[in-house]
Amino acid sequence: VTQALLLQADRDDPAQGARRAAADPHSNPFLPLSAKEAAASEEGRQRTLTTLLEKVEGCRDLLPESPGKYLVYNGDLVEYDADHMAQVQRVHAFLMNDCLLVAAWLPNRRGTYRYDALYPLEDLAVINVKDNPPMKDMFKLLRFPESRIFQAENAKIKKEWLEVLEETKRNRALSEKLRLEQEALPRAAPPPPETANPFEQEDEKEPPPEEETVDLSMEWIQELPEDLDVCIAQRDFEGAVDLLDKLNEYLGDKPVNQPVRELRAKVDERVRQLTDVLVFELSPDRSLRGGPRATRRAVSQLIRLGQSTKACELFLKNRAAAVHTAIRQLRIEGATLLYIHKLCHVFFTSLLETAREFETDFAGNSGCYSAFIVWARSAVRMFVDAFSKQVFDSKESLSTAAECVKVAKEHCKQLSEIGLDLTFIIHALLVKDIRGALQSYKDIIIEATKHRNSEEMWRRMNLMTPEALGKLKEEMRSCGVGSFEQYTGDDCWVNLSYTVVAFTKQTMAFLEEALKLYFPELHMVLLESLVEIILVAVQHVDYSLRCEQDPEKKAFIRQNASFLYETVLPVVEKRFEEGVGKPAKQLQDLRNASRLMRVNPESTTSVV
């Protein structure tokens, strides 16, 4: 073998050297040798290993010389990219009895290599790659998390590589099995010390109990680490966990001796590798297509591995990233209400699917449900941020904002199908924006009312056409003013001021839109806004009654005051009570103050 490798170094022909080494019976560890030949072969193998270390830069510290380590096979290969099947580099592989060394060619230095990777045989899986012209004569090496593809010189060399790799792995496993069996055998007890008393009973001291052995010689147990490597590399997560369950069931009632501990150590390493792969499958960096069901494989296997908490955490992180991506990719339409419809559909559908998938995956882990509630609250906050930015930050009208909030509430009710009600969370997150919208719209109404009051002439309305009069009657009926007919006169005249009619329509519209936005946290905001709006009109009528000297105009003002106090205010009070569910004392007090003013219209005390 030494001569073959040296000849290879001289002639820079590793492939030829590999074939010579394979043909030399003294270099083949699988042929029986005499004692003299075995000693010569061992010495030759050590010299071969020393020569190898001199030819590969960077491996001397990684591959220490040790008795029993020798070169089995070596040769040139070409590495290809596993994803794109593009040629990567030329390498030279050195197979030893316990590991495989891959070294890259140094183009500017003949016969010298640079260390690339070292793979222990027990962690290495070898898979034949079927020929698919022009890609042929290839095989794959699998060791988590790596997967590398190599091309041999021809079909014969590829076959030699596959055979010698498998044979070397089997011999490695067999020697390891023999070592474990030797260690498991009970050791002979040392002879008892001689005593001075020949009549002393030999059986006075009981021998120490023998350690119970566990049969680990079965083929499926010997091949378990390699089978786990293959399952992990091929993404057969269920098969890997099934193997682990089978081993745990077999070793469940067995004693834990040294061979079992060593087997457990090997298996635990694969469990860590499998866990890492499953964690990567659930990472937000992976494709988020397929919805929450796409995570079911990884989640279920993590739960079977006893990693329920980690599975829950990763599942929720994955779904948070999916919801965030879906919202971010949603195109902002010109019409706000159309965008909100799409936003609510995307968000609440995703939330409902996630909740149902969570209930399916973690049905037996009730401790994870609190984590889902925390996640759901965080997801709703993300939704509200997008909602508020489009509805409230863009200063939409109160009617548009009310419709958008109504749509969000209706979608939120879908979650009640699975017993999850997040309406109160949406209320809590929207209360600040809705309060600001109500106060802003209240200020607009007050400014508009004051402007109309400043131009008030206290004249009857003339709508000019019966169609216009009919439209006004319909508008007042929709506002809840059913007795408006008594204020209409002949032809197209209305016995009310334009200011009072406009105030009535605007106030009732404000109340209707505000009730769509209402929830208990906004009770006082809405009530105070209504009182403030009404006071502007009431105080204007009170002031006009006290200041007007013309009896005819004064009678017309009193008629408008009667409409305002006896018709509009009761309608506002009734509608507020219907929408809120309880009467408002502030509105009652305002109406009572107006009644006092009507009893003594000449009073100089203004309504407050």
Do 224 and 315 have their domain in common?
A: no
| % of the chain at pLDDT higher than 70 | 80
Q: Residue 543 domain-assigned?
A: yes
Q: In this structure, what CATH number is given to the domain that contains residue 145?
A: 2.30.29.30
Host domain of residue 277: 219-281
Residue 17 has pLDDT above 50, yes or no: no
Q: What is the pLDDT of residue 289?
A: 65
Kindly report each contact of residues 190-198 with a partner whose C-beta sits within 8 Å and lies 24 or more positions away, as own/partner.
none
Residue 600 has pLDDT above 70, yes or no: no
Q: Residue 408 domain-assigned?
A: yes
Q: Residue 144 domain-assigned?
A: yes
Do 481 and 590 have their domain in common?
A: yes
Do 24 and 159 have their domain in common?
A: yes
Token look-up 């501990």 returns 261
Residue 433 has pLDDT above 50, yes or no: yes
Kindly state the DSSP code that residue 568 receives in the 8-state scheme: I
Residue type, 150: F
Instruction: List the structure tokens of 228.
Output: 């786990």
Do 478 and 553 have their domain in common?
A: yes
Residues 6+ apart with CB under 8 A from 600: none
Condensed to tens digits (0 to 9), the pLDDT of residues 95-120 reads: 888 888 888 888 776 667 888 888 88
Range in 12-21, 56-65, 241-250, 264-273 with the lowest mean pLDDT: 12-21
Q: Residue 434 domain-assigned?
A: no
Q: Which of 281, 298, 332 is the last residue of a domain?
A: 281
Do 140 and 39 have their domain in common?
A: yes
| pTM for this entry | 0.59
Mean pLDDT of 249-272: 83
Do 56 and 146 have their domain in common?
A: yes
Mean pLDDT of 164-186: 80
CA-nearest of 30, 27, 40, 16 to 71 is 27
Rounded Cα–Cα distance for residues 480 and 509 (Å): 11
Condensed to tens digits (0 to 9), the pLDDT of residues 458-482 reads: 888 888 888 888 898 888 888 888 7
Do 501 and 585 have their domain in common?
A: yes
Do 256 and 319 have their domain in common?
A: no
Residue 607 has pLDDT above 80, yes or no: no
Q: Residue 391 domain-assigned?
A: yes
Residue 193 has pLDDT above 60, yes or no: no
Q: Which of 177, 210, 228 is the last residue of a domain?
A: 177
Residues 6+ apart with CB under 8 A from 548: 458, 554, 557
Condensed to tens digits (0 to 9), the pLDDT of residues 557-586 reads: 898 988 888 888 888 989 999 888 888 888
Q: Residue 294 domain-assigned?
A: no
Which residues are paired to 554 by β-bridges?
none
Q: Residue 230 domain-assigned?
A: yes
Do 488 and 549 have their domain in common?
A: yes
Report which secondary-structure segment, H or E, holds 461: strand 460-462
Do 464 and 551 have their domain in common?
A: yes
Do 48 and 157 have their domain in common?
A: yes
Q: Residue 579 domain-assigned?
A: yes
| Backbone dihedral angles phi then psi of residue 75, each to the nearest 5 degrees | 175, 170
Q: What is the mean pLDDT of the chain?
A: 80
Mean pLDDT of 158-170: 89
Residue 78 has pLDDT above 80, yes or no: yes
Confidence of residue 145 (pLDDT cuts 50, 70, 90): low
Q: What is the pLDDT of residue 258?
A: 82
Do 128 and 230 have their domain in common?
A: no
Neighbouring C-beta atoms of residue 154, cutoff 10 Å: 11
CA angle at residue 512 from 509 to 518, to 5 degrees? 140
Range in 14-23, 237-246, 270-279, 434-443 with the lowest mean pLDDT: 14-23
Q: What is the pLDDT of residue 67?
A: 62
Rounded Cα–Cα distance for residues 569 and 521 (Å): 24
Q: What is the pLDDT of residue 152?
A: 92
Q: Of 505 and 63, which is predicted with more confidence?
A: 505
Residue 204 has pLDDT above 60, yes or no: no
Instruction: List the structure tokens of 497.
Output: 């001021």
Instruction: List the structure tokens of 429.
Output: 């997150």
Q: What is the pLDDT of residue 444?
A: 92
Q: In this structure, what CATH number is given to the domain that contains residue 374?
A: 1.20.58
Rounded Cα–Cα distance for residues 275 and 227 (Å): 16
Confidence of residue 130 (pLDDT cuts 50, 70, 90): confident
Condensed to tens digits (0 to 9), the pLDDT of residues 293-350 reads: 778 888 888 888 888 888 899 889 888 988 888 888 887 767 888 989 999 999 998 8
- Across the chain, which distance is largest between two alpha carbons, in Å? 148
Residue 502 has pLDDT above 90, yes or no: yes
Mean pLDDT of 546-559: 88
| % of the chain at pLDDT higher than 90 | 12
Condensed to tens digits (0 to 9), the pLDDT of residues 210-251 reads: 556 777 778 888 888 888 888 888 888 889 899 899 888 888
- Number of domains forming the structure of the chain: 4
Confidence of residue 500 (pLDDT cuts 50, 70, 90): very high
Q: In this structure, what CATH number is given to the domain that contains residue 486?
A: 1.10.357
Q: What is the pLDDT of residue 447?
A: 93
